[in-house]
Structure formats: C-alpha cells, structure tokens
C-alpha cells in the first residue's frame, strides 16, 4: 500500500469495552484495518455488529469520517448502520460519513458530474412502471406482440443484460438467435427513449457511474476521496457494482466486504456469486475471516442447514455452530395435498397460541407466491390474522404515481411517460385516439410527445381545444415551480398548490363515488405531502428534483418484508422476501421437485439449494419442513415427488418412481372428497 497520511494504522483501539463483546473472529474482522478483508458471515453470526464496530474503530483510529464509504443494498440497512455508528461514536464524529445504497451513491455522484455525464440540463430517474411503459412503446413500434416477447420479459432481460455489463452494441458483435436480435432492437429503442426524455433507469445509475470511473482522472479523484471502503451483502453484487467497488478501492485496497456465499439467491436479477468466491483472486493477499458462531438459531436448525448446504460445490467451506444450545428436532411432514398442508399448519398455530405463543412468532415460507392461496383461505376460515408480504406498495398506488408524474413534469417537461400519465387526468379532451396520433407523429419525427403537441396542426384529428388544455397545464406547472423558493414552507406549499391547481381533488371525487373509497384514495395524496414535509424538515434548502430522487429510490427499495414481519400477525412470504429476517417458529412448505428446486431453475440448482438454506436459517427455535404427495392442477390431482433437498437431509436415495424437476410428473387418480375428510396427513417424522 502506498504511503498516505489518511491510511489506517494498527494502533490500539479505544473501544475496549465494545470490542470485549465480540468473539475472536468478529474482533479480528473489526481490528484488521489495513488492506483487503473478506468477512464470510454465516447466517445469524452478527455481521451488522461487525460492520458498525469496524466503522467506529476506523473513526477511533483517526480516519476522517469523510474518507469512509459504506455501501449497502437497502435504505433501511444504510439508516440502521449510520444510527448504530452514531450511537457508538457520537453525532459529531459520525458526521461526514458516506453511508448509503449503491444506487443512492451513484445518483449523488452523477448529479455532481453532469458535465462528464453529458447531461448539462440534468436528468430524472425512470421508475419501474415508467420503464415498462417505455419498453411497451418500443415493442409497439417494432410491431412485436406478446406471443413474441412480453414487455415485462423484455424489461427483465434488459436489466439482466445491464447487470452483466452487456450492451446492444456488444450483442450485435456477439450475434445470437432471433430472440437476441429482437431484444437488441427493443433495448436500443428503450435507451433512445430514455435519452430523448433525459432520464436514467436504476441500472443506468450504476453503469453510467462505472463508465465515468473508467476515466483515469475521475477514478483517481474518488480513490483519494474515499480511503476506506466497506460493502455489506457482498454476495449480492452484480457486474456494475463490482466494477464500482474495484474502481474506488483498487488503488489503496483498503476494502472490507461482508457477505455469505451460502446466501447468494439473486442470480436471476444479476447477482454474481463468483465475485465473493473470487475475492482473493481479485485482491491477492486478502485476509479472510470466517464468522461461524450463530446467535439466531438452536443447534438442530443449524445442523440441518449445514448438512444441506454442504452439498454445494461452489462455496467457501465453513461450519456454523449454534451459541444457543440444543432445541426441538426438525419436524418433517408428508402431506396429502396443499389443502391438507394448510389445515395442519393452521391447526398447529392455533394450538401453540393456546400454549402462550403469539401470532407474530410464526412464518410460513414458500418458493412461489401462488402457494399462499391455500394458506390464506385456511387462515381466513379459522380467523387467524396474517400478513401477506408482497401486496401493493404505497408507491404503486395510482394517486401517488399521478402526483409524482405532475412533479416530474415540473422538473423535466420532456418526461414523456409522466406527460402521458396525467395529460388527461383530470380529463382535458385528450382521448386515446388523440394520444395515439400524437405518439405516431412523435415516433415518425423522432422527438417527444411534448414536441408533437407544438405541431398539432399537422396531425389529423387532433383538436386545438385539447392541445391548448394540456399546454396550459404545462405552463401552469412551470409557473408554480418559479413562484416558490427553496425554503421548507415554500417547498411543501408548492406541492400542495400543484395538486390543487391541476384539479386533482376533483378528479378523485369524480372517479370514486363511494365516500370511504375517496377518503382512502386521498389519504395516499396526503401521505405524499407528509413525505415532502419530512424531507424538507431535514434540509435547509429542499429541492424538488432531489425529493423526487428520494421518493423514486424508496419505491425501488424492497423493504416491506421487514415491516410485515413486525406486525402481530402470522407472516406469509416467499423465501426471497424472507432473507435477513428471523422468526421463533417457521414452516418451510412445498419441498417438492419442481417447486423447490423450481422447475425453471434446474440449471442453477446450487442457487436453489442456497434458497432452501436461507429458508431454514430464518427459524430461531423450531422448524417444520413439509411436502405434498399430490397437488391440484386444472382440477385434477397430480402426483408429486419429495425435493432432492429433503432426500439429502435424510441421507436417502430417490425412491422408486421419483421424478426430478424438469420432467413431467405422473398423473394420479382424482381424489375423493370423503377420503380427504377421513385422512389428514400421510406421515410425519423428525430428524
């Protein structure tokens, strides 16, 4: 490492009392302040404590806060990290720390380098719904129907491509089949639309930052700025995030990454487990610290998880040990069908409630969201309160999206998607036919629908009255933006006045005739104002574009799972949503070939096994695994086979007639309703 006055030194830490709380491995991770460090933090081993204590130790060793960068994957994780560090070292010492998500960091960086970015007039963020609209428009222009490629599929493939640092240009050179060719054309049009409306999507925030940091002077600048870098959940990094980390830390190499390759479960959205597996190759001489003492789960749960994940070959070898001692054996149940599975689980929950447990002690975890149906029906029938993770987000509500669209137009009048969203809400005479003609004209001319409005006389069937109404709306938005300053009171009032002057209250009253429904709808609008007020309270000079950035980033942050888990209800959620959470008693259901592992994921079987591992390690005290020997499909019972993961846990060979995922299951006879009532479950066991 080159000599630098800001480089950390290994002097004794003043945090003796805090460091004494750590086990030897945790302490080693916290006190190794120089050079690259890989902290392999198994499930429940205290990784958050390690990260926060390490930051506190850097500050205690005279590293200025402004020289420390910590990156996470969620706003909540970033907020908790900052809060914990502040509690340890005090507000003054913590001031100046850069702690945030990858996307938030990149957004701030790009805003500070607009000239280098090539967007001198600024840009806005295209959220997920608007992205889908742009892709849908691109497919329409190319005369591509859903049978060839659905909009959501195209958007997912584009996002996955960006996560692997792919581009349409690279695809063209590489070649491919007809689907690749189609995707390349859609992707090109999608990017053109983003550029035309001066927007970046979430993936672009990462890739554009990476592009800038390939410039030597910018790369050296940021390396000098941040002398100590920390990354949480490193196993979830994708190509652009990896490039970002190596760009910043590649010179001084004062990098600490914390993660667990055994919990890498987001390959489908671009996460690359090879980054954590290959850390020592990327940073030769890196110290590897393994956290193997689990403080979450009882020994039977840890033994079960360890036995399962040992079947993966692509992993860092580690052996978890529980600090909580022995507990109840793992329950293994074979159910006849999904209804029986739901009945038995709800019955068990009710029995445990009578013995002093609480509803929020229980979680039902499944591979796919469709599996929730039987459990929801039974929980409702038995009057058991539950929360299903994955309902409509606040940011997906129509009223919230409408208000945000109006505000985006105040910042960026060329935001075509926002204009299309609110041009006729409230009604301004701009019907579907008129909008279609405007879009066709804009497409032919290669400009935005806003520009097409200026040429309305050239477009057959477009009425002056309708165009004038939209133009007046845009002019009013611009005027409102110039009327108010950047003080808190002005900021909130500007948003309030905008909502009033576009007639949005009248629009809600017009659309929803039921008074209770209107009230609920308007509460969402009020919540936007509350958010604006809270945002303005924290800033001396609030700015609309930064407020919209914050809203959009929060909308992209998948944190509803943790909020749901805090409710006094039984929690139902997918295994992906459950990562990072814990429950005293957990049910891992549907352990069948074709479900877990999923039939579409047989090529990534190790990731499916990691997903099962994540599910098992959510349980603290008690765990039940179950599978169904039959499931309904189109009104008929279809024979199912136990998951290979269950067989691995029991050291069993596949039984006769067992079918691996990817093969067609064997149809079984239709079941009798009378027989179903007499028979609750086929077998139960423990291991």
Write out the catalytic residue numbers: 47-48, 232-233, 263, 618
Q: How far is CA 230 from CA 37, 48, 53, 598, in A?
A: 9, 12, 12, 34
Q: Using CB atoms within 10 Å of the CB of residue 648, give its burial: 0 to 12 exposed, 13 to 18 middle, 19+ buried.
A: middle
How would DSSP label each residue in 143-184?
T--TTT--HHHHHHHHHHHHHTT--HHHHHHH---HHHHHHH
By C-alpha distance, which of 21, 609, 34 is closest to 285? 34
C-alpha atoms less than 13 angstroms from C-alpha of 122 in its C-beta half-sphere: 14
Sorted by sequence, the CB contacts under 8 Å of residue 176 that are 6+ apart come out as none
By C-alpha distance, which of 593, 603, 596 is closest to 574? 596
Measured between alpha carbons, how far is 532 from 492 in angstroms, rounded to an integer?
6
By C-alpha distance, which of 412, 430, 424 is closest to 195? 412
- Greatest extent of the chain over all pairs of C-alpha atoms, in Å: 80
C-alpha atoms less than 13 angstroms from C-alpha of 413 in its C-beta half-sphere: 15
Measured between alpha carbons, how far is 497 from 532 in angstroms, rounded to an integer?
13
Measured between alpha carbons, how far is 638 from 634 in angstroms, rounded to an integer?
10
Measured between alpha carbons, how far is 639 from 340 in angstroms, rounded to an integer?
15
Structure tokens at 447: 């400009």
Structure tokens at 308: 């399962």
Check: CB of residue 97 under 8 Å from CB of residue 39: no
C-alpha dihedral over 388, 390, 394, 395, to 10 degrees? 180
Number of H-type helices and E-type strands within the chain: 33, 19
β-sheet with 331-335: strand ranges across? 386-388, 570-574, 362-366, 583-588, 619-628, 331-335, 681-686
Check: CB of residue 164 under 8 Å from CB of residue 158: no
Per residue in 321-359, is it b (16+ CB within 10 Å) or e — as a string? ebbbeebeebbbbbbbbbbbbbbbbbebbeebeeeeeeb
Measured between alpha carbons, how far is 288 from 282 in angstroms, rounded to an integer?
13
DSSP SS3 for 664: coil
**From the CB of residue 685, how many other CB atoms can be counted at a distance below 10 Å?**
12
Distance between start and end Cα atoms, the chain: 51
Measured between alpha carbons, how far is 400 from 438 in angstroms, rounded to an integer?
26
Per residue in 568-583, is it b (16+ CB within 10 Å) or e — as a string? ebbbbbbbbbbbbbbb
DSSP SS3 for 73: coil
Check: CB of residue 270 under 8 Å from CB of residue 258: no
Sorted by sequence, the CB contacts under 8 Å of residue 148 that are 6+ apart come out as 182
Measured between alpha carbons, how far is 11 from 234 in angstroms, rounded to an integer?
27
Element (H, E) at 298: none
By C-alpha distance, which of 64, 132, 131, 69 is closest to 106? 69
């Amino acid at each position: 490492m080159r000599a630098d006055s800001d480089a950390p030194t290994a002097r004794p830490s003043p945090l003796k009392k805090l460091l004494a709380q750590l086990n030897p491995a945790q302490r080693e991770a916290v006190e190794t302040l120089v050079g690259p460090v890989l902290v392999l933090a198994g499930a429940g081993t205290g990784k958050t404590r390690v990260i926060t204590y390490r930051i506190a130790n850097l500050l205690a060793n005279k590293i200025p806060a402004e020289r420390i960068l910590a990156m996470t994957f969620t706003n909540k994780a970033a907020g908790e990290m900052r809060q914990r560090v502040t509690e340890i070292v005090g507000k003054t010492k913590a001031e100046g720390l850069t702690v945030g998500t990858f996307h938030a960091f990149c957004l701030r960086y790009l805003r500070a380098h607009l000239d280098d970015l090539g967007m001198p007039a600024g840009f806005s963020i295209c959220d997920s719904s608007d992205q889908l609209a742009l892709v849908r428009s691109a497919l329409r222009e190319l005369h591509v129907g859903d049978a060839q490629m659905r909009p959501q599929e195209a958007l997912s493939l584009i996002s996955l491509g960006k996560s692997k640092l792919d581009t349409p240009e690279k695809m063209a050179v590489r070649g491919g089949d007809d689907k690749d060719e189609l995707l390349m054309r859609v992707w090109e049009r999608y990017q053109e639309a983003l550029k035309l409306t001066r927007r970046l999507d979430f993936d672009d925030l990462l890739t554009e930052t990476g592009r800038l940091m390939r410039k030597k002077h910018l790369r050296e600048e940021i390396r000098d700025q941040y002398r100590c870098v920390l990354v949480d959940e490193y196993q979830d990094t994708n190509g652009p995030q990896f490039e970002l980390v190596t760009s910043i830390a590649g010179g001084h190499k004062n990098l600490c990454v914390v993660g667990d390759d055994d919990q890498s479960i987001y390959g489908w959205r671009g996460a690359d487990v090879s980054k954590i597996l290959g850390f020592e190759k990327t940073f030769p001489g890196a110290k590897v610290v393994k956290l193997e003492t689990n403080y979450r789960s009882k020994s039977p749960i840890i033994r079960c998880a360890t036995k399962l994940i040992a079947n993966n070959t692509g992993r860092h070898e580690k052996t978890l040990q529980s600090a909580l001692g022995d507990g109840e054996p793992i329950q293994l149940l074979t159910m006849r069908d999904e209804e029986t599975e739901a009945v038995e689980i709800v019955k068990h929950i009710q029995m445990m409630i009578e013995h002093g447990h609480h509803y929020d002690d229980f979680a039902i975890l499944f591979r796919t969201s469709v599996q929730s149906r039987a459990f929801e029906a039974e929980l409702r029938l038995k009057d058991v309160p539950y929360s299903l993770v994955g309902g409509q987000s606040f940011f997906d509500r129509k009223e919230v999206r409408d208000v945000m669209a109006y505000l985006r137009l105040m910042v960026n009048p060329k935001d075509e998607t926002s204009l299309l969203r609110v041009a006729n809400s409230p009604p301004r005479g701009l019907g579907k036919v008129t909008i279609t003609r405007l879009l066709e004209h804009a497409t032919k001319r290669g400009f935005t629908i806003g520009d097409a409005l200026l040429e309305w006389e050239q477009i057959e069937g477009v009425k002056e009255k309708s165009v004038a109404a939209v133009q007046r709306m845009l002019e009013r938005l611009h005027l409102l933006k110039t009327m108010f300053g950047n003080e808190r009171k002005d900021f909130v009032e500007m948003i309030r006045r905008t909502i009033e002057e576009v007639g949005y209250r009248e629009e809600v009253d017009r659309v929803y005739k039921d008074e209770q429904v209107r009230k609920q709808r308007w509460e969402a609008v009020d919540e936007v104002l509350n958010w604006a007020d809270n945002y303005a309270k924290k800033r001396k000079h609030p700015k609309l574009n930064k407020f919209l950035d914050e809203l959009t980033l929060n909308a992209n942050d998948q944190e509803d799972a943790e909020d749901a888990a805090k409710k006094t209800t039984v929690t139902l959620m997918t295994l992906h949503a459950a990562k990072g959470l814990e429950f005293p008693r957990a049910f891992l259901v549907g352990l069948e070939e074709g479900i877990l592992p999923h039939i579409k994921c047989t090529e990534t079987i190790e990731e499916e096994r990691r997903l099962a591992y994540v599910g098992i390690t959510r349980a603290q005290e008690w765990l039940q695994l179950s599978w169904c020997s039959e499931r309904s499909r189109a009104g008929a019972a279809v024979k199912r086979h136990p998951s290979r993961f269950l067989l691995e846990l029991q050291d069993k060979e596949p039984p006769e007639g067992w079918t691996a995922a990817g093969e067609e299951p064997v149809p079984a006879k239709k079941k009798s309703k009378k027989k179903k009532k007499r028979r609750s479950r086929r077998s139960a066991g423990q291991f």
